[in-house]
Amino acid sequence: MNTLLSTNFELPNQLSKYKGKVREVIYLENDLIVIITTDRLSAFDVVLPKGIPYKGQILNQISSHMLNLTKSIVPNWLITSPDPIVSIGKRCEPFKVEMIIRGYLSGHAAREYKKGKRYISGVKMPNDMNENDPFEIPIITPSTKSDNGHDEDISKEEILDKGLVSERDYEKMESYTNILFEEGSKIACERGLILVDTKYEFGKSKDGEILLIDEIHTPDSSRYFYLDGYEERQKNFKNQKQLSKEFARQWLISKGFQGLEGQELPQIDNNFTNIVSQRYIELYETITGKKFFPAQMENIENRVKVNILNFLENH
């Protein structure tokens, strides 16, 4: 096996474990949290049956890279990354909203705009915009999780009225979101990219500090365009060249699958997983500007456990 789809070990002082679509989260005593980014690939809310070699390593290392680059301007949860696919940090109580910030009319916002809507999460969008045009000033369009697990747009006013976040805490999250997006945009520009939109999640630590949590600026949580040729493509109403996991979705669509009822998942072969793996490696090297060095693939689960235990014994 050259991928890790799940882990099956228990750590000392483990309180509980949560298994998401891609990541496994282990809660420990002393307010520590361990996040293992597996090689699972999720598309259209479906987890594919085969893993993507090095995907977990790539996502974890991009996020660790970005968290370390921005920790001097916004405090975050990360303490260390003791293994290529593992991050360990401070446990926080997550706020029940995601702070989505958009510099361009793309994705969900563009789909709503095409329906004739001019407000998203209570924020007014200008008239006469084309898809992928920049907003004059980036807009923050929060979302919250509904009971069925899908994101739902929610305005700042609704968040405060429902008491999901206090006004003081929301103002801090809003400020952090703008600061992070500005810094993320600068980092992207240096790499010949445009940070189009992204999401940030925040939580409150045991001592009451608001911290940035989760991953940031990865191709799974952000949309990037290539800077070179953006203006020309926009002027000619052409699709923008994206840097994201969109290529995997497009492959599934070409095979007649969009996660809809009655649709069967196409056969996922090694050719597909290897192609997707190569694309993720390209993403890593483009976003970070670093050469990708693959971790050893033999007995990944044991390697992960040993590296976590080594950290915990010395922490």
Contact assessment for residue 98 and residue 143, using Cβ atoms and an 8 Å cutoff: yes
**CATH number 3.10.20.30 is the correct assignment for the domain at 14-92+246-314:** no
Query: Which residues belong to CATH 3.30.470.20 in the chain?
Result: 94-243
User: Helices marked H in 43-120 — which ranges?
Assistant: 55-70, 107-114
> Which pLDDT score is estimated for 26?
97
> Which pLDDT score is estimated for 219?
85
CA dist., res. 268 & res. 255, Å (int): 11
**Token pair for 197:** 């939109």
Which one, of 46, 158, 40, lies nearest residue 97 by Cα? 158
Q: Note the pTM of the prediction, 2 decimals.
A: 0.90
What is the full per-residue pLDDT of the chain (315 aa) written as tens digits? 589 999 999 999 999 999 988 999 999 999 999 999 999 998 887 889 999 999 999 999 999 999 999 999 999 999 999 999 999 999 999 999 999 999 999 989 999 999 999 999 999 999 999 999 999 999 999 999 765 556 799 999 999 999 999 999 999 999 999 999 999 999 999 999 999 999 999 999 999 999 999 999 998 889 999 999 999 999 999 999 988 777 788 888 899 998 888 888 998 989 999 988 998 998 899 999 999 999 988 889 999 999 999 999 988
Q: What architecture is the 94-243 domain classified under in CATH?
A: 2-Layer Sandwich (3.30)
> Which pLDDT score is estimated for 220?
83
CA dist., res. 147 & res. 219, Å (int): 26
CA dist., res. 138 & res. 15, Å (int): 40
Beta bridge partners of 36: 24, 86
Angle at the Cα of 20 from the Cα atoms of 18 and 23, rounded to 5 degrees: 95
DSSP for residue 314: H
CA dist., res. 64 & res. 266, Å (int): 33
**Token pair for 96:** 């029940």
> Which pLDDT score is estimated for 148?
55
CA dist., res. 277 & res. 12, Å (int): 33
SS3 content of the chain, % helix, strand, coil (to 5): 35, 25, 40
CA dist., res. 229 & res. 152, Å (int): 33
> Which pLDDT score is estimated for 147?
56
Q: Given phi > 0 = left and psi -120 to 50 = alpha, else beta, which region is 44?
A: left
Query: Which residues belong to CATH 3.30.200.20 in the chain?
Result: 14-92+246-314
> Which pLDDT score is estimated for 279?
87
